[in-house]
Amino acid sequence: MVCSLSKICLVKGFTSAPLNVWVFAVVLMFIPCHRWDLKAEIYGVQTRSYASPPEFQYWSHINTSGLLGVTDIIYGDGSENSFTGGFWGLTGHEDGHFYATEFVDGAGEDCRLVRVGMNTFVQARRVGVVPIGFPSVEGLASARGNLYGSSIDYASHTSRLIRIDAETGQGVLIGSGSVNVILVGLAYHKGAQKLYGCGVPFGSGPDAVDGFNLYEVNIETGATILIGALGTELQGLAYDANLGLTGTFHQLFTIDTGSGSATVVEAAVDFAHDGHPLNGIYACASTDELQKAESDLFKIIRIVYSGESGIEIHWEAEPGGVYQMQASGQAQNNIQWANASGELTAIQPSISYHFIPTNDQSIYRIVRLK
């Protein structure tokens, strides 16, 4: 079944029948469709420990052109729980805050989660009053409503994936990756729903990792799968709505998630500040802010119903615009919507999404686009 609509969004319902058969046309609703523009910013923690004189760390805005924008000193907030160490992991989170990992003792044995605020000054305060519980958390990413970190266990030559509570600052173990895969950066791609990590050379002998690589990290187990060689040293990793997967150290790079290959955005830039090879941006993050566009209605081009495999919706799109499909289990007033897709960024003037309901969902399945 194919439907064509103009300036409205069709919401369809499904009912679960015996033998896993989905029956169409339980509910039809009409809801205005809105387009959202995506504003993205990249930030990084620039280390200048080997500058003359030593300046340690700065909070830096990174333009998508690969140039450094405004830099600022990172302050504690003056409280008893104020941070005192250095940042080595960074991510933006859906609660509107940046989070970072702080090495209190310099070596990372006492590793804390800190919340970063940007008002008049860039200030940071520890979350909770106890350590994360895992050392050397250099990679940090926000995914599925949680914070995830990569803790380096030098004794076992592995990186352990942990989940960190954004309210208490404490971590729990998920699992370990392959031997000698040392992850120093993490980033989550919402659209693909994949967690990526960048690794550095480590180990000796036949099992040694002798290059800088990109990995996919299983978010349920912590297992690492090699994607390919980056071709350059990266210490920070982020997913940016404008550039895709990006990495930082001496420059800003875009990364091909299929091959792992990294491409410099602006080769003339040197984030090392004074040219010392150990200086650079060790942690970076991108924050995405959804803002309603001035022209907020768009057109559904086609809806294809295909039995138990769900529906496929095609709609007009503004290239660069961001859309999201939502679903509800009940047809009632004050419907409670839940995201049924990640953020869908349009590349062409049209875009589509295939929604497949499951039998463990409610009798009614209603979907909308926004």
> 161-194, pLDDT tens digit by residue?
999 999 999 999 999 999 999 999 999 998 889 9
**What percent of the chain lies above the pLDDT cut of 90?**
51
The total of other beta-carbon atoms located within 10 Å of residue 221's CB is 12
**Cα(159)–Cα(163) distance, rounded to whole angstroms?**
13
> Which candidate, 247, 180, 177, places its Cα nearest to that of 217?
177
**Cα(5)–Cα(308) distance, rounded to whole angstroms?**
23
Percent helix, strand, coil in the chain (nearest 5)?
0, 55, 45
> 192-212, pLDDT tens digit by residue?
899 999 999 999 999 999 999
What does CATH list as the number for 38-291? 2.120.10.80
**Cα(275)–Cα(328) distance, rounded to whole angstroms?**
54
**Cα(290)–Cα(218) distance, rounded to whole angstroms?**
28
pLDDT of residue 11: 37
> 94-153, pLDDT tens digit by residue?
888 899 999 998 788 999 999 998 766 788 999 999 999 999 999 999 999 999 999 999
Supply φ then ψ for residue 116, to 5 degrees. -105, 135
Q: Which two tokens stand for residue 216?
A: 């996919």
Using the Cα atoms of residue 349, residue 14, residue 18 and residue 307 in order, give the sign of their dihedral.
negative
Which residues, including other chains, have CB under 8 Å from residue 51's CB and lie 6 or more apart?
273, 274, 276, 279
How much is the mean pLDDT over the chain? 82
Which residues, including other chains, have CB under 8 Å from residue 18's CB and lie 6 or more apart?
none
> 315-353, pLDDT tens digit by residue?
888 777 778 777 766 555 556 677 778 788 888 888 888
Question: How is the chain split into domains, by residue range?
Answer: 2-35+295-369, 38-291
**Cα(89)–Cα(274) distance, rounded to whole angstroms?**
22
